[in-house]
Amino acid sequence: MTCIVQKFGGTSVADVEHIKNVARRVKEEVDRGNQVAVIVSAMTGVTNELVKYCREMSHFHDAREYDVVVSTGEQVTIGLLTMALHDIEISARSWTGWQIPIMTDGAHSKARIENINIKKLKKCMADGQVAVIAGFQGLAPNNRIATLGRGGSDTSAVSLAAALKADRCDIYTDVDGVYTTDPSIVPTARKLDKITYEEMLEMASLGAKVLQTRSVEMAMKHNVRLQVRSSFSNESGTFVCSEEEIMEKEVISGIAYSRDEAKLTLVGVKDSPGVSATIFGLLADENINVDMIVQDVSENGEITNMTFTVTKADFGRTINILKDNHDKIGYINLITDENVVKVSVVGVGMRSHCGVALTMFQALAEKGINIQVISTSEIKISVLISEEYTELALRALHTAYNMDDKKT
Amino acid sequence: MTCIVQKFGGTSVADVEHIKNVARRVKEEVDRGNQVAVIVSAMTGVTNELVKYCREMSHFHDAREYDVVVSTGEQVTIGLLTMALHDIEISARSWTGWQIPIMTDGAHSKARIENINIKKLKKCMADGQVAVIAGFQGLAPNNRIATLGRGGSDTSAVSLAAALKADRCDIYTDVDGVYTTDPSIVPTARKLDKITYEEMLEMASLGAKVLQTRSVEMAMKHNVRLQVRSSFSNESGTFVCSEEEIMEKEVISGIAYSRDEAKLTLVGVKDSPGVSATIFGLLADENINVDMIVQDVSENGEITNMTFTVTKADFGRTINILKDNHDKIGYINLITDENVVKVSVVGVGMRSHCGVALTMFQALAEKGINIQVISTSEIKISVLISEEYTELALRALHTAYNMDDKKT
Concatenated DSSP letters of B280-333: HHHHHHTTPPP--EEEPPPSSSSEEEEEEEE-HHHHHHHHHHHHHTHHHH--SE
User: Measured on CA atoms in the order B111, B112, B117, B121, is the torsion positive or negative?
Assistant: positive
Q: Provide the pLDDT confidence category of residue A407 given band limits of 50, 70 and 90.
A: low
What would the mean pLDDT of A250-272 be, rounded to a whole number? 91
Choose the closest CB to A57 out of B19, B65, B99.
B19
Distance of CA A27 to the CA centre of its chain: 28
β-sheet bridge partners, residue A93: A131
Q: How many CB atoms lie within 10 A of CB B8?
A: 27
Better pLDDT: B355 or B118: B118
What ipTM goes with this model? 0.83
Minimal Cα distance from A81: which residue of B? B57
Candidate ranges A224-233, B96-105, B174-183, B188-197; pick with highest mean pLDDT: B96-105
- Give the model's confidence band at A101: pLDDT under 50 very low, under 70 low, under 90 confident, else very high: very high
Domain B3-174 fold is Carbamate kinase (3.40.1160)
* Nearest chain A Cα distance for residue B101, angstroms: 11
* Cβ B189 vs Cβ B181: under 8 Å: yes
The answer to whether residues B77 and B41 touch, using CB atoms and an 8 Å cutoff, is yes
What are the domain boundaries of chain B? Answer: 3-174, 245-408
Considering only CB atoms, A16 lies closest to which of B57, B67, B71, namely: B57
Positive or negative: CA dihedral A268, A270, A276, A282: negative
pLDDT for A208: 63
Going by C-alpha positions, the residue among A213, A89, A223 that lies closest to residue A161 is A223
Which of B51, B80, B119, B137 to mutate to test binding with chain A, by most A CBs within 10 Å of its CB? B80
Strand partners, B270: B303
Answer for the pair B111, B147: CB distance below 8 angstroms, yes or no: yes
Q: How far is B211 from chain A (nearest CA, A)?
A: 27
pLDDT band at A359 (very low <50, low <70, confident <90, very high): very high
Prior bond to B183 cis, omega within 30? Answer: no
- In this prediction, residues B204-222 reach a mean pLDDT of 83
Nearest-neighbour CA in chain A from B168: distance (Å): 27
Residue A164, amino acid: L
Task: Assign a CATH topology to domain B245-408.
Answer: VC0802-like (3.30.2130)
A vs B, Cβ pairs < 8 A, gives: 107
What is the reported pLDDT for A391? 96
Q: What is the pLDDT of residue A210?
A: 79
Q: What is the distance between the alpha carbons of residues A275 and B89, in angstroms, rounded to a whole number?
A: 44
